[in-house]
Every structure is written in structure tokens, then in C-alpha cells.
């Protein structure tokens, strides 16, 4: 899938750059352009992708301080300028726009829903959001911000692809090390997803092609989505890799998803990546059928993706996960954070959970 990436806010900008780097290093050619948008000048300085500072008159380049209402207001005022900067990147080859944002920060959680709304109004390509949920230890303001924007993002975007910061963090790591590792894992997983259907670095065609239409159809129901990933050593003989493919698919779903403990879904897509001569069609089909049974979905697509590696990798895309217990657990945590802030006489975003219009949320 040929995609244009827009990072909104600090986390969004860093992840967007990492995705662009991964795509370039792997020679996939899926990322058609990348841009970072922020209200904080300091967060843009170390990025090597195109960037745009917004809100100069309002916050003087110092950011919005976690205020997602202010972040949304600034984006509403400057959305036209942001899309003007995007125009040259959105060529006829682009098949999707992907907004990348940490939904706990002020600029990301406030600005991303507004920009998604405007992009869908102007452009005739799917607009997806890759949204990163704050971890449990990241403070009540981030929990409340994410809660305010989560349902809005799921409604305004064609699909909201979620990453839980707690999913891939390793105990004992510093904050900087933890986020760097999470960004690497995001780049690997979503970079491989976007690359599905592209020729990439291996000049071979998959036996059962996974192309961009498979991704679009898996995400078509809208709502929230997650990605699972796992890999394992593979034999040089495809016939010996049937069990490797099925067990790797199991690990991708049961232990490797971007939102932990999410299994049930409305739609699914299995991509098995590796050297074509190592990929067993029997193994792919067996794994796809297992995925149908486990997710409870009758709409699970599957195929393979040529990759120059002596390992077998399984990538699982789940669409329609918003009824999962993990999502509800996060929303409950966000409500508790709002109540705590209300008790401290801080601004109350409680009504955001019940509103249906973008204007009411911000």
C-alpha cells in the first residue's frame, strides 16, 4: 500500500520518521512522503523529514502543554496550510493517508481528529490514524486526553490502528530507551503492513498476492484495529514449515498484538512473509482457518509477501476490535482520570464521551 504519512505531535513525528526510515532501509517503496506537524519547535528540530510548525501566534512554538482543546483549535485554524504542504506528496499513486499521533499528548490527541476530518472532506483516499495509547504510568492528563479523542478518531478516520504503549515496553528500561524500542517495533510491524503488495527488495511475486485492496477491505468496517506480529526460524524446504507458519501465526495473535489480549475481531488479514521457496501454501491456509476460528470472523483474508530472510514472519491485521475488554479497560481508566482531574477542579472533559459531533468534542 502506497501511503503518505503525517506525524501530529511529538510522538507522531518521531514514529513517522522511523516508519519512513524503515521503508527506505528495506527498499519497500510504500511510503510516498512523510511530514511532521507540531506546535512545539523543539520537537521538530531533530527530525529529518519535512516539518511544519503550527500555532506560532498562539503558543510561540512552545507547544500546547497537554491542552488538547487548544491543539484542536490551532489545527482547525491552520488545517488548510497543513494540507497545502501535503498536496505535493499526495500524488495519484498514493493509496492512503496515514496520520500518526500519540493520543495522550495535547497536539496529537487534539489535532489528529480535526486533520482526519478535513482530509476526508477533501481527498478521495482512505484516511487512517495510527494512534498510540499512553501507558498506565504516563499521568492522568494523558489518560484523559486519550479518552476524549479515542472515539472521535475512530469515527472521523476510516480506521484507527491502535498501539498500546504498555504492549512492548520492557521492565527496567529508561523512558527514552522504552519509547525508542516501541517506535522500532511499530516501524517493523506497520512498515511491513504498508509494504504488502509492493515489489520491495525481492524481485519475486508472492504465490498468493496480498495487495493494498486486502488491507483496505480488512479495515473497511471502520472502528478500531490492531496488528500482531511474530517470527521464527524457517527450514529451506517449504514442506517442513507448515507447523512453523501455524505456530508463528498463533504467537502473533495471542502474544504479539499491538493491543494486548485482543483476539475477537470483525475482520482479519494474515500476511506470511519470507523467501517464497520457504513458504508452505498448506501452512498459510491452515493458519488462516485457525485465525478465523480464533477471532470469530468469517472474513479473514490471507496470503504471502516475498521477503529476503531465512525466517518466517506472520503479520496479523485485526479490524473491528473496539468491543474488546482491553479497549473498555482503557476507557474506564480514562474516565477515572477525568474524575480525578474534576476533583482537583481541573477542566472536565467528561461530556466528550457522550458527544457525537466533532465540534462538541473540542
pLDDT of residue 272 exceeding 90: yes
pLDDT of residue 201 exceeding 50: no
- Domain spanning 3-195+324-361, CATH class: alpha beta
Q: Helices in 42-67 by DSSP H: which ranges?
A: 56-59
Domain 227-319: give its CATH code: 3.30.1330.20
Helix or strand or coil: residue 276? helix
Which residue is listed with cell 503518505? Answer: 4
pLDDT of residue 287 exceeding 50: yes
What is the Cα–Cα distance from 195 to 23, expressed in whole angstroms? 8
C-alpha R_g of the chain: 20
pLDDT of residue 296 exceeding 50: yes
pLDDT of residue 175 exceeding 70: no
The whole-number pLDDT of residue 352 equals 40
Q: What is the DSSP string of 215-256?
A: HHHHHTT-SEEEEEEEEEE--SSGGGGHHHHHHHHHHHHHT-
Condensed to tens digits (0 to 9), the pLDDT of residues 61-87 reads: 999 999 999 999 999 999 999 999 998
pLDDT of residue 358 exceeding 60: no
Average model confidence (pLDDT) across the chain: 88
CA-nearest of 212, 206, 254 to 230 is 254
Condensed to tens digits (0 to 9), the pLDDT of residues 250-264 reads: 999 999 999 999 999
> In the chain, what are the domain boundaries?
3-195+324-361, 227-319
- In this prediction, residue 156 has a pLDDT band, given cuts at 50, 70 and 90, of very high
Amino acid at each position: 500500500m502506497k501511503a503518505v504519512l503525517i506525524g501530529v505531535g511529538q510522538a507522531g513525528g518521531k514514529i513517522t520518521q522511523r516508519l519512513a526510515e524503515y521503508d527506505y532501509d528495506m527498499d519497500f517503496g510504500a511510503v510516498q512522503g512523510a511530514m511532521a506537524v507540531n506546535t512545539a519547535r523543539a520537537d521538530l528540530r531533530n527530525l529529518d523529514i519535512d516539518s511544519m510548525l503550527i500555532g506560532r501566534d498562539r503558543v510561540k512554538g512552545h507547544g500546547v502543554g497537554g491542552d488538547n482543546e487548544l491543539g484542536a483549535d490551532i489545527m482547525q485554524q491552520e488545517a488548510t496550510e497543513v494540507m497545502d504542504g501535503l498536496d505535493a506528496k499526495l500524488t495519484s499513486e498514493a493509496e492512503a493517508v496515514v496520520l500518526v499521533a500519540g493520543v495522550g499528548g495535547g497536539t496529537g490527541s487534539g489535532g489528529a481528529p480535526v486533520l482526519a476530518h478535513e482530509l476526508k472532506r477533501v481527498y478521495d483516499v482512505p484516511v487512517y490514524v495510527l494512534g498510540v495509547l499512553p501507558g498506565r504510568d504516563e499521568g492522568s492528563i494523558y489518560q484523559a486526553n486519550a479518552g476524549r479523542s479515542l472515539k472521535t478518531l475512530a469515527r472521523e478516520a476510516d480506521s484507527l490502528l491502535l498501539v498500546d504503549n504498555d504492549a512492548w515496553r520492557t521492565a527496567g528500561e529508561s523512558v527514552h530507551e522504552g519509547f525508542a524500542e516501541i517506535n522500532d517495533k511499530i516501524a517493523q510491524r506497520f512498515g511491513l503492513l504498508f509494504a504488502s503488495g509492493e515489489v520491495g527488495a525481492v524481485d519475486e511475486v508472492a504465490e498468493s498476492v496480498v495487495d493494498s485492496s486486502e488491507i483496505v477491505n480488512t479495515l473497511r468496517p471502520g472502528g478500531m484495529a490492531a496488528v500482531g506480529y511474530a517470527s521464527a526460524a524457517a527450514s529451506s524446504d517449504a514442506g517442513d514449515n507448515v507447523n512453523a507458519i501455524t505456530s508463528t501465526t498463533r504467537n502473533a495473535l495471542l502474544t504479539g498484538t499491538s493491543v494486548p489480549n485482543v483476539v475477537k475481531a470483525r475482520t482479519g488479514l494474515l500476511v506470511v512473509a519470507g523467501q517464497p521457496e520457504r513458504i508452505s501454501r498448506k501452512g498459510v491456509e491452515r493458519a488462516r482457518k485457525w485465525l478465523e476460528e480464533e477471532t470469530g470472523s468469517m472474513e479473514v483474508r490471507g496470503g504471502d509477501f516475498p521477503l529476503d530472510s531465512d525466517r518466517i514472519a506472520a503479520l496479523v491485521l485485526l479490524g473491528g476490535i473496539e468491543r474488546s475488554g482491553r479497549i473498555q479497560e482503557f476507557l474506564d481508566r480514562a474516565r477515572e482520570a477525568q474524575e480525578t482531574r474534576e476533583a482537583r477542579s481541573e477542566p472536565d472533559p467528561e461530556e466528550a464521551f457522550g458527544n457525537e459531533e466533532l465540534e462538541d468534542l473540542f
